[in-house]
């Protein structure tokens, strides 16, 4: 067919074929005409989202014994397992509420309206109760992901504030994000942004820590077990803020810093060892020039001016900003954790506050799973649905295999495929079960 310039619609979407007849053909019938060709147009339409009720019928049986008294032992199948014991919702429905709430950032009052339009009024207290139960179910998995993250060569960490509902006035708390390179994106909730919160998050960690030079992390470097890595994106941001008040100095500093980033993009495909060599060959001269320039400007800039803050930041954190030269695996910026932290920032603008400290921990649990699923290019809804099918009976000693980092391999194991494909509720959510009315097949 002749190209139309329209987007090709995905083959996986269901199709409804409708043939449109000319009025003359419709009046006289197709037998009176010869079909000589056709034009096909595909139009994207939307049907109402579909909730489905799975009626689980457990028949009761006794053995027939001819000539003998009937066996009185009653046989009945065990009910299919649910993520929440005796719960109202199956794994697909529960995964949908989690994804909408923390991946699509829909607050609970919007979820009430959404499910009401789909034919099932759900109180926000019901949805909230589901999520608290599921957070307890997922707790061993998150603990295993945190323990695995503590083995990483380096971690990126950042934090953002959040309001917590209280009796008279909302109080302040914080979400932390800890990103382990290419493995996990983990969120933690803390009522206070202090040393105790950081110690709890990074308990047992030894390695490099990429941060924004906030004072709350300073105590971690005292014994040398954790080594600070500075963020050149923060250094550049300070300089950029001075562009309107001191253009000549700001442009010169930005030119040097940007050369570092240009080199890093060129080094991206290199091995860590080769990257380290190239950094020493090309980046060290730029660092030397930039530091010499900062030393020359420190006594010339006006105190508390934007350019003075930029120069002082670079001078005060000189060692940390050079740390990326020590190991080719280290990044020169903390943008990864900042980018992931936007999840909470975008969500915060929708749901405004968390209801309690426990609600903050539930939030951090599911945002960790969603962010890690996105990191490994998994469909969050499908991942959570299958996770909730497997998690209740999964061996605790092997729970890390259910983390997003291992999911591609785990989901292909024959025994896992059998468990998933035999799950009644999963099959119902995928439309693989025949529909039946209460009185028989439709």
Segment 261-290, tens digit of pLDDT: 999 999 999 999 999 999 999 999 999 999
CA 172 to chain centre: 24
CA dihedral 204, 207, 213, 216 (to 10 degrees): 10
Q: What is the pLDDT of residue 56?
A: 87
Q: Which runs of consecutive H residues, i.e. helices, occur in 317-413? A: 318-322, 335-351, 357-375, 380-390, 404-410
The 10s digit of each residue's pLDDT in 182-206 is 999 999 999 999 999 999 999 999 9
pLDDT band at residue 47, thresholds of 50, 70 and 90?
A: confident
Check pLDDT > 90 for residue 69: no
The 10s digit of each residue's pLDDT in 120-176 is 889 999 999 999 999 999 999 999 999 999 999 999 999 999 999 998 899 999 999
Q: What is the pLDDT of residue 442?
A: 39
The 10s digit of each residue's pLDDT in 310-361 is 999 999 999 999 999 999 999 999 999 999 999 999 999 999 999 999 999 9
**What is the pTM for the complete model shown?**
0.88
For the segment 363-387, the average pLDDT, to the nearest whole number, is 97
Cβ distance 188 to 175 under 8 Å? yes
For the segment 12-29, the average pLDDT, to the nearest whole number, is 88
Check pLDDT > 90 for residue 217: yes
Check pLDDT > 90 for residue 3: no
CA max distance for the chain: 110
- Ranges assigned E (strand) in 198-356: 207-210, 226-229, 353-354
Tokens for 19, please give them. Answer: 């043939």
Core vs surface per residue 263-302: b (16+ CB within 10 A) or e: bbeebeeeeeeebbebbeeebeebbeebbebbeebeeebe
For the segment 225-246, the average pLDDT, to the nearest whole number, is 94
The 10s digit of each residue's pLDDT in 426-438 is 998 888 877 654 4
pLDDT band at residue 118, thresholds of 50, 70 and 90?
A: confident
For the segment 398-415, the average pLDDT, to the nearest whole number, is 96
Check pLDDT > 70 for residue 68: no
Q: What is the pLDDT of residue 440?
A: 39
Q: What is the pLDDT of residue 45?
A: 79
**Measured between alpha carbons, how far is 205 from 225 in angstroms, rounded to an integer?**
8
Check pLDDT > 60 for residue 4: no
Is 293 in a helix, a strand, or coil?
helix
Check pLDDT > 70 for residue 441: no
Tokens for 34, please give them. Answer: 């010869």
**Measured between alpha carbons, how far is 329 from 77 in angstroms, rounded to an integer?**
55
For the segment 199-217, the average pLDDT, to the nearest whole number, is 94
For the segment 292-315, the average pLDDT, to the nearest whole number, is 93
HSE-CB for 52 with a 13 A CA cutoff: 21
Cβ distance 157 to 149 under 8 Å? no
Q: 327: which DSSP letter?
A: -
Cβ distance 353 to 363 under 8 Å? no
| Closest of 96, 84, 81, 189 to residue 130, by C-alpha | 84
Check pLDDT > 80 for residue 224: yes
Q: What is the pLDDT of residue 196?
A: 94
Check pLDDT > 70 for residue 71: no
Tokens for 342, please give them. Answer: 């936007």
For the segment 355-380, the average pLDDT, to the nearest whole number, is 96
């Amino acid at each position: 067919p002749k190209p139309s310039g329209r987007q090709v619609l995905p083959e996986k979407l269901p199709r409804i074929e409708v043939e449109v007849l000319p009025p003359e053909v419709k009046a006289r019938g197709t037998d009176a005409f010869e079909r000589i060709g056709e034009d096909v147009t595909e139009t994207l339409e939307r049907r109402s989202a579909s909730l489905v009720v799975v009626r689980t019928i457990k028949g009761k049986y006794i053995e027939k014994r001819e000539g003998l008294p009937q066996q009185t032992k009653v046989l009945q199948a065990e009910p299919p397992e649910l993520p929440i014991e005796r719960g109202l919702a199956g794994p697909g429905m529960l995964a949908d509420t989690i994804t909408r709430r923390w991946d699509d950032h829909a607050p609970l009052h919007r979820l009430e309206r959404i499910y009401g339009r789909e034919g099932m009024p759900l109180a926000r207290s019901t949805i909230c109760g589901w999520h608290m139960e599921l957070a307890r179910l997922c707790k061993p998995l998150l603990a295993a992901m945190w323990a695995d993250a503590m083995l990483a060569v380096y971690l990126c960490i950042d934090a953002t504030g959040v309001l917590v509902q209280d009796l008279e006035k909302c109080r302040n708390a914080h979400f932390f994000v800890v990103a382990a390179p290419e493995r996990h994106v983990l969120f933690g909730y803390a009522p206070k942004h202090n040393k105790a919160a950081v110690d709890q998050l990074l308990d047992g960690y030894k390695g490099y820590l990429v941060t924004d030079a906030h004072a709350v992390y300073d105590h971690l470097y005292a014994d040398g077990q954790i080594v600070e890595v500075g963020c050149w994106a923060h250094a550049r941001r300070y300089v950029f803020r001075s562009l309107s008040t001191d253009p000549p100095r700001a442009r010169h500093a930005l030119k040097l810093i940007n050369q570092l980033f240009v080199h890093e993009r060129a080094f991206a495909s290199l091995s860590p060892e080769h990257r380290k060599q190239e950094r020493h060959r090309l980046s060290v001269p730029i660092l030397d020039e930039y530091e010499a320039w900062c030393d020359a400007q420190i006594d010339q800039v006006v105190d508390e001016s934007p350019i003075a803050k930029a120069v002082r930041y670079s001078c005060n954190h000189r060692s940390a900003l050079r740390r990326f030269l020590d190991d080719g695996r280290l990044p020169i910026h903390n943008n990864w954790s900042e980018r992931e932290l936007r999840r909470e920032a975008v969500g915060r603008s929708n749901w405004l506050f968390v209801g309690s400290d426990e609600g903050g921990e539930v939030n951090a649990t599911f945002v960790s799973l969603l962010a890690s699923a996105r990191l490994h290019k998994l469909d969050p809804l499908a991942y959570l649905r299958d996770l909730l099918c497997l998690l209740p009976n999964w061996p605790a000693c092997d729970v890390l295999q259910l983390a997003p980092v291992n999911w591609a391999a785990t989901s292909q194991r024959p025994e896992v495929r059998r468990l998933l494909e035999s799950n009644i509720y999963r099959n119902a959510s995928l439309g693989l079960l025949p529909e039946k009315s209460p009185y028989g097949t439709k």
